Structure 1
Amino acid sequence: MMNWADLLSTSRIGMDEDAPAGREESPFLLDLDRITFSSFFRRLQDKTQVHPLSVGGRVRSRLTHSVEVASVGRSLGFGVGRQLIEGERDIPAHITAHDFGYIVQVACLSHDIGNPPFGHAGESAIGQWFQENRDVVFSADMSDSQKRDLLAFEGNAQGFRILNKLDYFREKGGFRMSYAALGAFTKYPGDTSIKNRQGIEAKKPGFCQSEKAIFEKVANRLGLIRRGNDHLWCRHPLAYLMEAADDICYRVADLEDGVTMECVSFKEVEYHLAPLAWSHKHGDTIAARRAHLLSQNWYADMDQSEKLGFLRSKAISNLIKATVDAFIEHEEDLLKGAFDQELLAATPFAQEAQACKTFAGSSIFGTRRKLEIETASYEVLGFLLDVFCRAMLEFEKCGGDIKRMSAKHKHVIRLLEYPFVFKNDRYEHLMQVSDFVSGLSDRAAVNMFKVLKGISL
């Protein structure tokens, strides 16, 4: 069984155990500062949340989504921390309820930091290009798991790589995050080698082979429970709060953005959000709660924008309270690694929240404009991967001596964000290309595609 003393570790990746743990107000605020000021985080302002290449701030980008998720996550963490401390759990004396909030806030703020351009379509596009070109770019000495890191490119695993290798102290701890924050960040604590993908933590890989040793160190320090002989562990309990914050925001906010983009009507969104906005004490059934809210004169007097704001605010508030209660109710199973569902599914609002997700999936995610751009993303990202991987192969053939390369590929290599590091290791070289392409924002990817194609100069 896991214990809170280990799970709340303030030790940091890449630093001695006795080194200063963080800012004086809280050891976890240093994590928050580093995420906030990271270039990888800033790029989320131009990465797809639901509606790609939107302009004018009309709808949420990955950045605004992440900020909103972090706000909800902080409330969830604080609520849980306060109840645990008041319940006299074995919490280290220096940890406050606010520290719980900061840990979850950090995990939430960074939860999408590894997303490539064009969201999930971008993940698929990167994986498809490697599948179609595996005979060209994969070497015989690459393991099956290394190949799968690229064939099944996953934003969560890329996020773990960014946090631990690609920014601030590159290759020397990265962001040098606290163990507690890294544990809460890792929604899927396993790699691509897992054969039996059953259980909530095994749905996707959460780290690549290149960071496998780092995660194992994190898991051991936090006391996470290992699942058999696979490179798979149970989740950090606070990772469930990070997931819940994400779920709460996109199930509510995606519907609000759907109205803004005219994908769905206000009445349809009102129909789905009203039962979440009106607590169960006003009626046992979904229909009763919806009818009770709509019958209120003060609600009827609001304009559409005010109603959307009210529905969003009340729905999120009710879901936060219900999620905190669910966490406390299932704390023992969470610490045993025996809890195997989303926290929202364990709340009284499970049916209503699922209805919102289903409605959004059928009504918002398949708009023509969204499908057109996502289809184009395969061409854009595939072209960029082809250009940079071909240059990488020549760089490798020249033993890392850029002076021996052709003029064209010499220029291409110099376009990479960071100097290409020769490691005599094809997997590491491909990961460097993947780091660059997946790190581009939506518009940066489109612009580079146009420039390298000679379409726009």
Structure 2
Amino acid sequence: MSVGMAAPRSVYACDPDRSRGRLFEEPPSRTRSPFRRDCDRVIHSTAFRRLKHKTQVFVFHEGDHYRTRLTHTLEVAQIARALARQLGLDEDLTETLALAHDLGHPPFGHAGERALDACLRDHGGFDHNAQTLRVVTSLEHRYPDFDGLNLTWESLEGIVKHNGPLTLRDGTPTGRYSDHGIPLGIADYINAYDLELWSFASLEAQVAAIADDIAYDAHDIDDGLRAGLFTVDDLKVMPLTAQMIADIDAHYPGLDDVRRGAELVRELISHLIGAVFLEAQRRLQAAMPKSAEEVRHHGEVLVAFPAAVAQAETEIKAFLKLRMYRHPRVMRVMGDAERILFDLFARYQNSPADLPAEWLPPAGGNRETETERARRIGNFIAGMTDRFAITEHQRLFDSTPDLR
């Protein structure tokens, strides 16, 4: 089958007609599948709209042409849908997971996540996947019968487990959670709704996860070139991009650097998608899963880069870390951004009246614990856009860093 053609629905795809349902039972939609309904709910959520003014790498006012969390998310969704179509998976569930994957990110990108994690260190820390789960299960207040979006089990599973199992079968935390345990928001939620943290997620979730990697690699190169942090020729230090640049130069001699960079990004996306498709086909043919359940219990990821491409992708990430994420200009801005969130967290702790009324504890209720108060403040800050965080800091402090 050609990589560009849609495959018929596979036996190992998630079937919306066999969904495990929702925590709060609802009548089915007359016009939409359960997964399409999930996707629409994500798109119409407040948290999704806020992604427009949340940092990817560059703070929103550094330029209109850099990625934000929203544009990054849309690009992940496009790549994920392309792979899902080729593999015969459920495109609606895949799109839901791609669109929802960054809903829990705080302002100022990974700098904001580091700051909130430090602020909440004694209260369970901060994990953006756990925060995404919190957003879609409790922090969105749009429906009269429940908090959150009441997504299907399959969507919640994919949000939590798209990077793989969080525990062993006996409940022991594994992987990145081995040292500090399961994040608070996830650990609390599974007591009410078991997401089977020990199993792998669906292929739709695995596709959304690898689409995130592809989008990061390609589009951060694009933004780094636009920002002047490195040049197209600097990317020749890596064999994969060096060969692509050589091919572009041979085919388009004398092409200007802007178009060289754009062509490189297109070639890289196509190459990575094609590599993932072929590797997933190979693994699926070897594993021969007969259902989505067999995918979950297979014991290893089935959507992945082949070994040589995985090495090349690791080299791209290392290049971006050195030349972009750790660039002195970016580090200075992100350091100032962390200071803004540290200041806001401390201010709200010391002066709770500075919080909006809807973020104050209910009057006359039980006295909240120190951890409950810290988590409430953390939820408020995590939901901020870059712009709102800066405005709040200007309102509450005499001097605010200029994030440029």
TM category, shorter:
0.7 to 0.9
Higher mean alpha-carbon deviation, 299-308 vs 112-121, is at: 299-308
1:453 lines up with 2:397 in the alignment: yes
- Partner of 1:76 in structure 2? 83
Give distance in 1, aligned partners of 2:132 and 2:53: 17
Which residue is equivalent to 2:150? Answer: 176
Q: Contact between 2:173 and 2:182, CA under 8 Å: does it hold in 1?
A: no
- Secondary structure at the counterpart of residue 28 of structure 1: helix
The equivalent of 2:110 in structure 1 is 120
Q: Which amino acid aligns with 1:75?
A: A
**Superposition pairs for residues 29-428 of structure 1, below 5 Å?**
29-81=36-88, 97=89, 100-131=90-121, 134=122, 147-148=123-124, 152-167=125-140, 168-169=142-143, 172-186=146-160, 187=162, 190=166, 197-198=174-175, 205=182, 207-216=185-194, 219=195, 224=196, 227=198, 233-269=199-235, 272=238, 275=240, 287=243, 291-296=246-251, 299-300=252-253, 302-331=255-284, 332=287, 334-339=295-300, 343-344=304-305, 346=306, 348-392=308-352, 409=353, 412-413=354-355, 415-418=356-359, 420-421=361-362, 422-426=365-369, 427-428=371-372
Deviation at 1:79, TM superposition (A): 1.4
CA contact (8 A) 1:77 1:101 kept: yes
For 1:105 and 1:200, the matched residues in 2 are separated by 26
Gaps of 5+ in 1: 82-96, 135-146, 228-232, 277-285, 393-408
Code of the aligned partner of 1:46: H
Give the secondary-structure state (helix, strand or coil) at the position aligned to 2:276.
Answer: helix
Alignment check: 8 A CA contact 1:117 1:445 kept: yes
The alignment partner of 2:396 has SS state of helix
Aligned length: 372
- 1:115–1:158 CA contact under 8 A, matched in 2: yes
Rounded to whole Å, the distance in 1 between the matches of 2:298 and 2:192 is 21
**Cα distance change of structure 1 residues 194 and 368 upon mapping to structure 2, 3 Å threshold:** farther
* Amino acid in the other structure paired with 2:126: F
Q: Which moved more, 1:198-207 or 1:65-74?
A: 198-207
Counterpart secondary structure, 2:72: helix
Relative to structure 1, the CA distance from residue 25 to residue 341 in structure 2 (aligned partners, 3 Å threshold; closer, same or farther) is closer
How far 1:196 moved relative to its partner?
Answer: 5.0
CA contact (8 A) 2:104 2:129 kept: yes
Write the distance in 2 (CA, Å) between the matches of 1:314 and 1:449.
42
Letter in 1 for 2:262: G
Letter in 2 for 1:294: D
Letter in 1 for 2:139: L
Q: In the alignment, residue 169 of structure 1 is paired with which amino acid?
A: Y
Counterpart residue identity of residue 269, structure 1 = L
Are the counterparts in 2 of residues 259 and 269 from structure 1 also a CA contact under 8 Å? Answer: no
Q: Is contact 1:184–1:239 with CA below 8 Å preserved after alignment?
A: yes
Letter in 2 for 1:318: H
Deviation by residue 1:276-298 (Cα, 9 ceiling, x = unmatched): 6xxxxxxxxx75x66444322xx
1:451, distance to aligned residue in structure 2 (A): 0.6
What percent of counterpart residues are identical? 23
Q: CA deviation at 1:270?
A: 6.2
Cα deviation for residue 176 of structure 1 reads: 1.5
Query: Which residue number in structure 2 is paired with residue 403 of structure 1?
Result: none
CA shift for structure 1 position 212: 2.8
| Higher RCO (CA-CA < 8 Å; seq separation 6+) | 2
Letter in 1 for 2:240: P
Deviation at 1:195? Answer: 5.9
Q: 2: CA distance between counterparts of 1:341 and 1:197?
A: 19
Contact 2:52 2:70 in 1 (8 A): yes
> Equivalents in 2 of 1:102, 1:271: separation in Å?
39
Q: Distance in 2 between matches of 1:417 and 1:300?
A: 60
What SS is found at the alignment partner of 1:74? helix
What is residue 281 of structure 1 aligned with on the other side?
none
Which residue of 1 is the match for residue 381 of structure 2?
Answer: 437
Distance 2:366 2:265 in 1: 50
Residue 58 of structure 1 aligns to a residue whose secondary structure is coil
Q: What is the CA-CA distance between 1:417 and the residue it aligns to?
A: 4.9
- Residue type at the aligned position of 1:314: E
Considering only CA atoms, is the larger Rg found in Structure 1 or Structure 2?
Answer: 1
SS state at 2:317 partner? helix
Aligned with 1:213: secondary structure?
Answer: coil
- Residues 293-330 of structure 1: CA deviation (Å, up to 9, x unaligned): 4322xx22543333222222222122212212222322
Q: 1:254 to 1:171 in 2, by over 3 A?
A: farther
- For residues 388 and 12 of structure 2, the distance between their equivalents in structure 1, rounded to whole angstroms, comes to 43
Is the Cα contact below 8 Å between 1:416 and 1:436 reproduced in 2?
Answer: no
Task: State the alpha-carbon separation in 2 of the partners of residues 25 and 324 from structure 1.
Answer: 28
Q: Write the deviation string for residues 417-440 of structure 1: whole angstroms up to 9, x where unpaired.
A: 545344544244332221101111
1:382 deviation in Å?
Answer: 1.7
Label 1:27 to 1:155 Cα distance change in 2 as closer, same or farther (>3 A): same
Instruction: Name the amino acid aligned to 1:261.
Output: A
Partner AA of 2:190 in structure 1: K
Residue 197 of structure 1 contacts residue 203 of structure 1 at CA under 8 Å; is this kept in 2?
Answer: no
- 1:256 to partner: Cα distance: 0.9
Q: When the two structures are superposed, what TM-score results if normalisation uses the length of structure 2?
A: 0.80
1:125 Cα offset (Å):
1.1
Partners of 1:295 and 1:5 lie apart in 2 by 42
- 2:75 is paired with a residue whose SS is helix
Tell me the SS of whatever aligns to 2:63. coil
Q: Which residue of 2 aligns with 1:10?
A: 19
Residue in structure 2 matched with residue 91 of structure 1 by the alignment: none
What is the rounded CA distance, in whole Å, between the counterparts of 1:317 and 1:445 in structure 2?
37
User: 1:71 deviation in Å?
Assistant: 0.7
What is the RMSD of the two structures over their aligned residues, measured on CA atoms? 3.2
